[in-house]
Amino acid sequence: MPTLQVASRIALKNILLTTDFSETSSVAQPFAASLARTYGAELFVAHVLAPEPRLAVPTDRIPEEDDLHRETAQGKLLDFVHKYVNTPCKTLLRQGDLGLVIAELVDENAIDLLVLGTHGRRGVPRLVLGSAAETIYRAAQCPVLTISPKVPLDGAKPWSIQRVLFPVDFTGDIDNALHFALSFAEENQARLILMHAAPMVPWQYRPDVEERLKARLEGLIPAEAKDWCRLETLVNWDFPDEGILRVAEEREADLIVMGVHRGRVGLTSHLPWPIASGVVSRAPCPVLTVRV
């Protein structure tokens, strides 16, 4: 895997925060606002109304009911912004299929980053049936920052990124995701922790395997970045999702950056969706997923 050649900083010009008006979505707001202020980005706050089922025989009341439904949602959206969003923003209200609408909003407003809160549900039934968070992951072509219920919140303390965790599995092209990890580390003068999970390695082989893997991890960092990058490399013997969560806890990570395959989110992906989903739903800090 070649070393990333360019370590330029990312530019976040437009950030989209999605909300369903729940407490879960409100906890994502401080993180979206913090990034908007740091990068001088415009913040959009969006709510998507579900498509309403139509009656078999239309009546004259349906348009009025639709208008009332939208007015109620618009009022809730403005109330949400007034109560929770402490930075200037634009509100967006749309109705339709969640995935299609999110994709349209990202495209129409040139969104560089999408921010959302998740209820933290996970497991095979949720993966099969889907969820709002998973729908947004599949629809958004831009990076997604997710805040799980495990993230501790302190309203009086701003989000400070001092340690960035970047899991690597050495498959696929990770340049785009690594670019984000390096940029966040540089912007915040943070420590960058590169880790690889290597389960099923017999204990007697672990010292040699660890040495080789750490050398590969360090080789991913551009030479010019090593002048400012406070780098830590480590190998974890857990399975990937458990290993990532364990390291995030032990190292008190403030941000996890993960690459997810650009194609179908499934079992053959770089950091497969069940792994990414397991981390996103239980992470003790925000997780940035970047399509690679």
Does residue 165 lie within any of the structural domains?
yes
Q: Do 31 and 113 contact (CB within 8 A), yes or no? A: no
Q: Is the dihedral of CA 247, 248, 249, 251 positive or negative?
A: positive
- Written as one letter, the residue type at 128 is V
Tell me which residue has tokens 């990333």: 4
- Predicted local distance difference test score (pLDDT) of residue 268: 35
In the chain, how many domains are there? Answer: 1
Where helices occur in 188-270 by DSSP H, the ranges are 206-219, 240-250
* CA-based max dimension of the chain: 76
Does residue 6 lie within any of the structural domains?
no
Identify any residues that bridge with 234 across adjacent strands, giving them in sequence order.
Answer: 195
Produce one character per residue of 269-281: b if its CB has 16 or more CB atoms within 10 Å, e if not: bbbbbbbbbbbbb
How many angstroms separate the CA atoms of 13 and 226, rounded? 27
Does residue 7 lie within any of the structural domains?
no
Does residue 8 lie within any of the structural domains?
no
Q: Which of 255, 286, 256, 289 is nearest to 272 (CA)?
A: 289
- Predicted local distance difference test score (pLDDT) of residue 154: 67
- The CATH number of the domain where 233 resides is what? 3.40.50.12370
- Predicted local distance difference test score (pLDDT) of residue 264: 46
Does residue 9 lie within any of the structural domains?
no
- Predicted local distance difference test score (pLDDT) of residue 65: 54
Does residue 5 lie within any of the structural domains?
no
Q: 3-class SS at 18?
A: strand
Q: Give this prediction's pTM.
A: 0.85
Q: 3-class SS at 17?
A: strand
Q: Do 7 and 224 contact (CB within 8 A), yes or no? A: yes
- In tens, the pLDDT along 34-84 reads 999 989 999 999 999 888 655 445 545 455 556 666 778 888 888 888 777
- The pLDDT > 70 percentage for the chain reads 81
The pair of structure tokens assigned to 198 is 């290597």
- Predicted local distance difference test score (pLDDT) of residue 4: 47
Task: Give the residue numbers spanning the domain of 173.
Answer: 14-291
Q: Which of 159, 229, 217, 245 is nearest to 190 (CA)?
A: 229
Running DSSP on this structure, what letter comes out for residue 228? T
Does residue 4 lie within any of the structural domains?
no
What's the half-sphere exposure (Cβ side, CA atoms, 13 Å) at 8?
4
Does residue 1 lie within any of the structural domains?
no
261-273 average pLDDT score: 47
- Predicted local distance difference test score (pLDDT) of residue 183: 93
Tell me which residue has tokens 């974890």: 236
- In tens, the pLDDT along 191-244 reads 999 999 999 999 999 999 999 999 999 999 988 887 888 899 999 999 999 999
Strand intervals (E) in 58-167: 90-95, 113-117, 144-147, 163-167
- Predicted local distance difference test score (pLDDT) of residue 25: 79
Produce one character per residue of 175-201: b if its CB has 16 or more CB atoms within 10 Å, e if not: bebbbbbbbbbbebebbbbbbbbbeee
How many angstroms separate the CA atoms of 82 and 171, rounded? 44
Running DSSP on this structure, what letter comes out for residue 226? G
